[in-house]
A and B are shown apart, each in its own frame.
Chain A
């Protein structure tokens, strides 16, 4: 079946004043179980040692290798070439600062977002008693929290989000899912008002326009859509507390999908 793949790679080195953004073509022979990780490394080893791209785990678990593959953000290491046409076009993820070629600075973006939403369990960390047994938790709840902890911060969802593309300070679905993780977690002592202060704005949940690009590209299938809905509803209801009767609000809150029953 061996095909000859035509791989077009975006090239631009922002540090080089003579560098102009352009597409460069490479040709690689395909073989069995080939992934874009293998193909790009072949290109770097054999054709052009200066191509910049990022891989780390090469197993789809670290999130380093997000890039735009034929128009869709995805992980290069878990994209098998056999699932692609023989013409493959690779771009760096938009939104994030370009380091060079296919490499972008997701680290700074995610750290900044994490700081803005205060992405840690808010409790008295020093209140830990080494001799006491751990506080108990239901296993189902632990699983629900882990479900959201599985995000690998690849940035695909942010790059697939039209809102993030238009508005630089939008926190993106990943950050909202991250807050949802803390909202679920009984160890985090923040209340609804605290969460409202960090994401109850146009940079947070209310900025999301429900386009679901995020949901449709997330390589880890994090339930972004459902979490966006849950958080938006929770915070919207929070904002009109005191206007509508409490009974009505409670009813609205528990309608539809939700983990809130836990």
Chain B
């Protein structure tokens, strides 16, 4: 078996993985990035909308500052986030946007003068300030008090990823694409790297590293209808969960995006609504203002998705062979706006739906979009349970999103966490050495090799991975969707118990020498089922509604009992995770309160006085925070 050594192994080369890689490589460490696809094809490239950072250059973002961004983030999370982390995030985001600008991101810029913008479908004029001309501009995104989303037309993910990838090229980060991490190598205490399958040859290799980062993005593919790429199958989370030592945080917190298109589930960006797009029902009536008079289409995602689902349930959806949907209307934005600022949307509609958004309505419905949960880390990005294991980006539960992340906050998280965690990893590498135990390497390798052998051998086994995947999809779609209840969730948990059991007897249908695509799926399915079970079981146990987690049978947000974070551990051989709970946040800079949208009752908690103080800053919070935390 080939063994490859590096100081830092980044599993995943999306925005988060590459940002960390750049930080370590610039500090002189030897870094290797693994990725299923060439890095620039990582799913970050699909993010169209933008990144939130309180730069306050745009006239509609005038007076913005990290404090307001922080407050929006905490409210968005329905007080489910770690406020210390959210604070680090909000304070660092503006710096990171400027830094990537220095490296080459062509952010759209402020153009002084009067411009016509849209809010809630109505045009209005605003004058951009002369002294801000040429600085980074921002657009509106849901759930924010200010226009704060930095963007490059509608290819923000693409352009930032291009820039970071070019930095990886510059600093000679080793990129090993078409590789898939299958298992972590560890000795029960330290993470030592990963066993990796080469997707060109099917070979298994050992990648050893002093520090290992998991930045593999989301695991949306446990649902059938998801905006996520086909590679978003949770490989990183699975590898961590399989150690039995590293817990997943808040796996029940799954975000549904209001505007996945029908039938292909391809996302059209929130920017459509930010720029003034509206939602219409079967009668082409704009219904959102009835539910959310103030924010209408621009309330946070969980709220809009829920309202849409509610409206569809009232029978006001549009019937189609692919199920009921609603309409997104951007016609009034005009040809020029649609073909420049929203060009990617225009392309998607014409190429995949056969709809021309300049003249036609776009069929949309809420679709699985983002996983708030993931590998639980502390604020430095270090995973619980194993030394030398880190995680950042969507795969992590760093936990600035709590139970609902704001549009534009996750793309920003990838680079902000990437920079912050990257620096922490550099510190770790500077003061750490590790023994690569041969036995640990062999153990990990044998486990993966044995699984492949099992599936290939002709024996009494006959489960098809494709069949299991389809059944998992149906279960998750039907029972662990936007609206959840005890009965459905129980059914899902039971079904997943069964599927997990059956997944032990997967047998390959075909044979191929070298790389066999069927093995990829077959290796992944048992782990995906576990992630699905963590989601379903966590949701079943959490008897309240918070953010994106909506229980019909427990509609109130129960701060008294559930102001906490779920931690799911998976012991070898079990069909269910072991759930533990931890405090949401070390302290509350903003005590739990009303979000100001979404309605819903709150069962208040008694929060001890000392938890309401920001350590080191006393109660005089405002002033201390004004000084930006440069690093």
Contacts and interface: CB of A to CB of B under 8 A. Distances in A.
A130 B95 contact: yes
Tell me the dominant secondary structure on chain A's binding face: loop
B111 A139 contact: yes
A51 B517 contact: yes
Contacts of A59: 46, 264, 266-267, 348, 352
A100 to B, nearest CB: 6
B201 interface: yes
B545 interface: no
Of A19, A50, A110, most buried by chain B (CB within 10 Å of CB) is: A50
Interface in B458-510: 466, 508-510
B335 interface: no
B594 interface: no
Interface residues of B, number: 78
A99 B178 CA distance: 11
Given A63-B41, A130-B631, A49 B510 contact: yes
Nearest to B630: A130
A141 to B, nearest CB: 8
B109 interface: yes
B279 interface: no
Contacts of A55: 230
Contacts of B231: 56
Interface string B99-121: 10111101111110000000000
Given A44-B517, A62-B45, A143 B153 contact: yes
Interface in B111-138: 111, 133-137
Interface string B256-287: 00000001101100000000000000000000
A217 B514 CA distance: 32
B514 A100 contact: yes
Contacts of B169: 111, 114-115, 119-120
Interface in B539-575: none
Contacts, number: 208
Interface in B62-114: 95, 97-99, 101-104, 106-111
A83 to B, nearest CB: 10
Contact of A62 (B229, B352, B353): B229
B41 A80 contact: no
Interface stretch (A147-155, A224-232, A253-261): A147-155
Interface in A27-79: 32-33, 35, 44-45, 48-52, 54-64, 78
B301 interface: no
B356 interface: no
Given A50-B518, A121-B103, A60 B135 contact: no
A247 to B, nearest CB: 32
Given A58-B229, A63-B41, A146-B155, 12 more contacts: A15-B202, A19-B513, A49-B509, A57-B46, A58-B266, A61-B158, A62-B43, A62-B229, A78-B347, A99-B515, A100-B514, A125-B26
Interface of A: 13-16, 19, 32-33, 35, 44-45, 48-52, 54-64, 78, 80, 99-100, 105-108, 110-111, 114-115, 118-121, 123, 125-128, 130-139, 141-143, 145-146, 149-150, 152-153, 185, 187-188
26 contacts: A16-B513, A33-B352, A49-B508, A54-B37, A56-B230, A56-B231, A59-B267, A60-B352, A62-B40, A62-B41, A62-B43, A62-B45, A62-B46, A63-B40, A106-B38, A121-B104, A125-B170, A126-B26, A131-B628, A133-B98, A134-B98, A137-B109, A142-B152, A143-B153, A146-B155, A185-B104
